[in-house]
Amino acid sequence: MNTFHIIYLVVVALVLLISYRFSLTSPKARKLSITLFLVFQIIYLLWRTFYTLPSVGWLSLLVGLLLLLTEWGGFFQNIVSSLLFWKKHKRKEVPISALKSLPKVDIFIATYNESVDLLRRTIVATQLIDYPKDKVSILVCDDGRREDVRLLCEELNVRHITRPDNKHAKAGNLNHAMTVSSGEIIVTMDADMVPRSNFLNETLGYFSNERTGFVQAPQAFYNEDSFQYNLFAGDRINNELDFFMRLIEEAKDRFNVTMYIGSNAVFRRSVLEEIGGFATGVITEDMATGMLIQANGWESVFVNKVLAVGLAPETYKDLLKQRDRWGRGNVQVMRKYNPLKLNGLTALQKLLYLDGVHYWFFGIYKLVFLLAPILYLVFGIFVLEAAFLELLVFWLPAFLSSQVFANLISEKKRTVLWSHIYDIALAPSMAWAMISEVFFKKEFSFNVTRKGVYTNTRYFLWKSSWFHILLTLLSLIGITRGILAFVRPDLVSLEVNSLYINLFWMLFNLFGLFIVMLIFFERPRYRSAERFEHPIDITIGSDSVIPATMIDLSETGGRISVAQEHLPKKDKQTLLLNLVDKDPIECEIRWVNPATNGKVDVGIRFIDLPPDSYRQIVKIIYADPTSSIGEKSNYKPGLFPIIGNFLRYSKKVPFTQRRLLLRNKIKVEGIVTINDLNYSASLVDISEGGTQIKTKVKLEKGDSVKLQAPSENIENKKGEIKWVNTRFGSVYAGIEFVD
């Protein structure tokens, strides 16, 4: 490398650094940074195309072409991203007062097998929405046709809607609800999405524009996703979906391409009727529905505020199933409602929808990038031919500019390295999903993502990780061969120019693989309800009122801080808690830990929580518009502290619990049928011969039942109850399969 090359690379690095710094505040500098990124990318790719393809054999040429096509595919995605983030977009708020009159609103809560406890939370929060009660109707659209859900709706005075079949899954469920309701506005809510009281105040005003078809708010989550939870990193990284939900959706709003994401959306009924209701025939009915509305000339609106919070998939296995469904659904939408042929969409809308489908092929792209250095270092198959110094001159500016671009558009929602880790984690399953959907058109039924999972065991996801394990082993072999090529070239002969860059990428990939392997250690989830830090001044006791502080709170209990001398005597295991001027709540003391300044922390569980108190708790935790749940203000994504946390806080499964692994201890929401009536139930553990369930229904030994749990491939499984126990108000039953 001569002096000119060194000066060139230094100048490039300085220009990119300076432009990035100014891009944070200057729109012109932002556009300059994006332009530099595209220029360096196209220069690199043109050089790669005309000067670096392998010429040592047909196999190397084939692999080299595959890698080059993958790089070009990524570049086309980057062009679309550059268009989206060319300038910042912030929609002007429109208050509800802009409406001439308040419309009647129907809120559809779609459910299939979610637990009654989860549904109760959503329904109560929906009832707390700030809107005239005579103008809102809440419909629980129960495709499970469950008796306990009907009784819950009766208790809470909301409509319970069922239909005779489950045709077209969720879309069919919502379309049926449209036939039995009449509100001018329709809101769709998933069973786990808990709205805040200002939901309608923040969304309805946009319908003062007569061309507004639907308004979408982001999905935010009150629990940690699998990446945050399994890595003990909930306080350091954002939810993996935040980048799409908050930034990409907002950027697409500028081009009227806001994607309907299935929940937290508000529709003009007449617009839905115009397109024939919610789209059917695909498993991502939400994407298709929004696209058809826009194709009919209607405008969509994205409100970038957390107006509802829900449950992210609680296990990595469930997350994979969810992304598999989304990826396949996008291909199905492309096949049935091809945006390129859809009349009414603008050229930009077609491009952005096509790019949305293209995105889901990232798994194939990432596998190519993971395998490329392995093919050379392990098997000696060239993927490119170039002098190392020449490669550095063309590749380094492209690489540095890509880091600048990624940091510029992500706004601390994620980093380049974390995007790399997310893609590696999902790549094998998503690659197979896309290949099987495109080429084999494999039948795929609509499965609801499990909600309310809890376990008391730690386990490793062998089935989900076997390909990553194979890649890790091959990478270690490749690195070993690369080192030997330096110290013992007589044993391993590798071309030096190719050795440097392949070793760099293999080390980069191996580090990502190492982090991903930690994610496959599934952590136990002991609590049936999420607990949130929520300091509130309270009192305990009835006759003599004792001051205390509520430290954290959930629907089932919490943690309070109280002076040690005011702690109830040892022979008394309950206390009365006064929470915001409501009737005292009787609580069971679960544990006591010393704190500071003569105080103790007391863990409590609510006993027979009164309805008014439950509503107040839901209001405090979820429905309050000022709540910070779902918003993340800090982002400290350093990998080494996260690895340290994983090693520090991970615990091996206690010896007394190891036997539970053989039972496949789980929690899966399902439906138990007794005397032709359906009830919600949770499968606690399962084996080939039977299962243990938890429910609220009174059961008797010897009863014949049928079980449904689609996520475990259980459909109308017949069984007989062998034993029944009642604990903490819930009924546990052992069921032996009879067929």
Instruction: Dump pLDDT digits (tens) for 419-434.
Output: 999 999 999 999 999 9
pLDDT at 716: 87
> Distance of CA 430 to CAs 48, 320, 420, Å?
27, 8, 15
- The DSSP-derived string for 524-577 is PB--SS--EEEEEEEEE-SSS-EEEEEEEE-SSEEEEEEEGGGSPPTT--EEEE
Residue 340 DSSP label: G
State the pLDDT confidence band at 581, using cuts at 50, 70 and 90. low
Pick 684 or 50 by higher pLDDT: 50
Mean pLDDT of the region 10-19: 94
d(CA 705, CA 698): 13
Above 80 in pLDDT, residue 378?
A: yes
Above 60 in pLDDT, residue 654?
A: no
pLDDT at 448: 58
Q: Which of 21-30, 88-97, 389-398, 631-640 has the lowest mean pLDDT?
A: 631-640
Above 70 in pLDDT, residue 571?
A: no
- The residues of the chain that CATH labels 2.40.10.220 are 532-623, 663-737
Instruction: Convert 250-274 into a string of H (helix), E (strand) and C (coil).
Output: HHHHCCCCCCCCCCCEEEEHHHHHH
**What pTM does this model have?**
0.88
- The residues of the chain that CATH labels 3.90.550.10 are 102-357
Percent of the chain with pLDDT over 90: 64
User: Are the C-beta atoms of 219 and 188 separated by less than 8 Å?
Assistant: no
CA-nearest of 446, 165, 162 to 280 is: 446
State the pLDDT confidence band at 569, using cuts at 50, 70 and 90. low
Mean pLDDT of the region 602-630: 89
d(CA 170, CA 625): 29
Above 60 in pLDDT, residue 267?
A: yes
* Topology adopted by domain 532-623: Thrombin, subunit H (2.40.10)
pLDDT at 451: 57
Phi–psi pair at 302, nearest 5 degrees: -110, 125
Phi–psi pair at 401, nearest 5 degrees: -65, -30
Residues 6+ apart with CB under 8 A from 429: 320, 323, 324, 363, 464
| Token digits of residue 223 | 């629990």
Mean pLDDT of the region 239-249: 93
The separation between the first and the last C-alpha atoms of the chain, rounded to the nearest angstrom, is 74
Mean pLDDT of the region 32-53: 96
d(CA 14, CA 20): 10
CATH number of this structure's domain 102-357, picked from the four choices 3.40.190.290, 3.20.20.30, 3.90.550.10, 3.40.640.10: 3.90.550.10
CATH number of 663-737: 2.40.10.220
Above 90 in pLDDT, residue 545?
A: no
Contacts 24+ apart (CB under 8 A), 723-730: 724/699, 724/700, 729/696, 730/694, 730/695, 730/696
State the pLDDT confidence band at 659, using cuts at 50, 70 and 90. very low
Mean pLDDT of the region 523-530: 73
Percent of the chain with pLDDT over 70: 93
User: Are the C-beta atoms of 452 and 117 separated by less than 8 Å?
Assistant: yes
Pick 716 or 261 by higher pLDDT: 261
User: Are the C-beta atoms of 110 and 170 separated by less than 8 Å?
Assistant: yes
User: Are the C-beta atoms of 213 and 295 separated by less than 8 Å?
Assistant: no
**Angle value at C-alpha 630, between 629 and 633, nearest 5 degrees:** 90
pLDDT at 280: 94
107-135 residue pLDDT tens: 999 999 999 999 999 999 999 999 999 99
462-516 residue pLDDT tens: 999 999 999 999 999 999 999 999 888 888 888 888 888 899 999 999 999 999 9
Average pLDDT score, the chain: 90
